[in-house]
Structure 1
Amino acid sequence: MFVRAYLRASNLEQDARRAKGQLQAFASERGLKIAAWYVEKESGAKLSCPELFRLLADASYEDVLLVEQVDRLSRLTVPDWERLKGELMTRRLRVVALDLPTSWMMATNTADEFTGRIFEAINAMLLDMLAAVARKEYEERWRRQAEGQARAKAEGRYKGRPENTERNIGIASMLAAGRSWTAIQQATGCSRTTIAKIAKRQA
């Protein structure tokens, strides 16, 4: 059994560093060693998360998938969450989230079979609930943002987010030099959506 830590952060340098320390502390307290780290900057509202699927591809039967919070793993729609959950179940991955205490005992093999099965069932139910809450919060935030933008437009105050011209020129240069999207993400901290937009301009 390996512990595989997954970090999804809005700001790779700041957010990932903070979460990494918390996950390391959690593992150390239980005498566990994190075998691999998977870090990416992608929206949790979509399934196109290369690092998460690299983790799934690397994982063996009953490995631990360690995350800071359930919403780092999913803010997905119901169909997408069911698909991801199916991938997790196929590999019998033990999802352990710091904000889900019932999952903590899944990080070890200390429970007897009956207790383990009970906690697996409870954990699966709570994972579903927290994933639904994360999706609801995501949709509500976007609804409020859209309403705020609509009001600002009506009042002539909305100008949109200014483009990071210097960064985008750098991304364009790296694309022209044949750098991979993953390498560009790691170098700039931008999303794959931003890279796709700049790649489309160059097409």
Structure 2
Amino acid sequence: MFIRAYLRASTQEQDAKRAKNELIAFAQEHGHKIAAFYVENESGATLERPKLMQLIDDAHEGDVILVEQIDRLARLNQTDWDTLKRMLSEKKLAVVSKELPTSYMALQSERSNNFMDSVLQAINSMMLDMLAAIARKDYEDRRNRQMQGIARAKLEGKYKGRRKDTEKRKIVASLLISGHSYSEIQSMAKCSRQLIASLSNEMKHR
């Protein structure tokens, strides 16, 4: 059994590595070491996350995905959440979260009570679904509040839109022209794939 830690933050302003030491300590408390870390700055509301897909692709049957909280793994709508669960199930991957004690059983190398294991697995699956639903609702509530704030600011003539990081956009554009891949640009410029794709599209239509 390999433990693969997944750390995510939705923006470059947030540091997805902040929880790394906590996850290392958590694994040690349960007698394990983390075999690999997958760190990315992408929204949890989308399945288009390169590092998460790489984790699933790298993982072997029975491996554990360790996260700080379920919302680090998913703020997905129901359809995408079902898709992700199916991908994990196909490889028999277990999700362990610090916030979900019923998930800790996946870290046990020996289990003596098959009936209790089945009960805990059922409870854990239900709790995962519930926490994923809560994470999605929190995401949608924040988005709605943001849109309401923007609408109110527009009515009051105060909304100016998000300021563009001109210098970063110049760097990304230069790297695109140089033929670098999205992953290379994301690493070098410390920016989101959405920004790279947006600039690439703008450059194609100039």
Percent identity reads: 53
Does 1:108 find its partner at 2:111? no
Q: Which residue is 1:157 aligned to?
A: 158
CA distance, structure 1, for counterparts of residue 17 and residue 54 of structure 2: 20
User: Which residues of 2 match residues 159-178 of structure 1 at below 5 A?
Assistant: 159-178=160-179
User: Which residues of 2 match residues 46-57 of structure 1 at below 5 A?
Assistant: 46-57=46-57
1:108-140 deviation digits (Å, cap 9, x = unpaired): 223323322222111110000000000001000
1:30 deviates by 1.7
- Return closer, same or farther for 1:14/1:45 CA change in 2, 3 Å cut-off: closer
1:5-24 deviation digits (Å, cap 9, x = unpaired): 11111355853221111111
Q: Which residue is 1:44 aligned to?
A: 44
Q: Is the 8 A contact 2:12 2:192 kept in 1?
A: no
1:45 deviates by 0.5
Q: Is the 8 A contact 2:11 2:43 kept in 1?
A: no
Q: Is the 8 A contact 1:41 1:189 kept in 2?
A: no
Q: Is the 8 A contact 1:2 1:64 kept in 2?
A: yes
Residue identity in the other structure for 1:76? L
Q: Which residue is 1:136 aligned to?
A: 137
Q: Is the 8 A contact 1:12 1:40 kept in 2?
A: no
1:52 deviates by 0.7
Q: Is the 8 A contact 1:68 1:97 kept in 2?
A: yes
Q: Is the 8 A contact 2:2 2:34 kept in 1?
A: yes
Q: Is the 8 A contact 2:6 2:67 kept in 1?
A: yes
Partner-residue secondary structure (3-state), 2:32: coil
Residue identity in the other structure for 1:108? Q
Gaps of 5+ in 1: none
CA distance, structure 1, for counterparts of residue 136 and residue 14 of structure 2: 24
- Return closer, same or farther for 1:147/1:14 CA change in 2, 3 Å cut-off: closer
Q: Is the 8 A contact 1:11 1:189 kept in 2?
A: no
TM-score, normalised relative to structure 2? 0.94
1:191 deviates by 1.3
CA distance, structure 1, for counterparts of residue 29 and residue 109 of structure 2: 15
Of 86-95 and 103-112, more deviation after overlay is shown by 103-112
1:57-108 deviation digits (Å, cap 9, x = unpaired): 1111110000111001110010110010011111111100111111112122
How large is the RMSD of aligned CA atoms in angstroms?
Answer: 1.4
TM-score, normalised relative to structure 1? 0.95
Partner-residue secondary structure (3-state), 2:136: helix
CA distance, structure 2, for counterparts of residue 13 and residue 146 of structure 1: 21
Partner-residue secondary structure (3-state), 2:5: strand
Q: Is the 8 A contact 1:40 1:51 kept in 2?
A: yes
Q: Is the 8 A contact 2:10 2:44 kept in 1?
A: no
CA distance, structure 1, for counterparts of residue 13 and residue 130 of structure 2: 30
1:120-172 deviation digits (Å, cap 9, x = unpaired): 11111000000000000100000000000000000000001100000111111
Q: Which residue is 1:71 aligned to?
A: 71
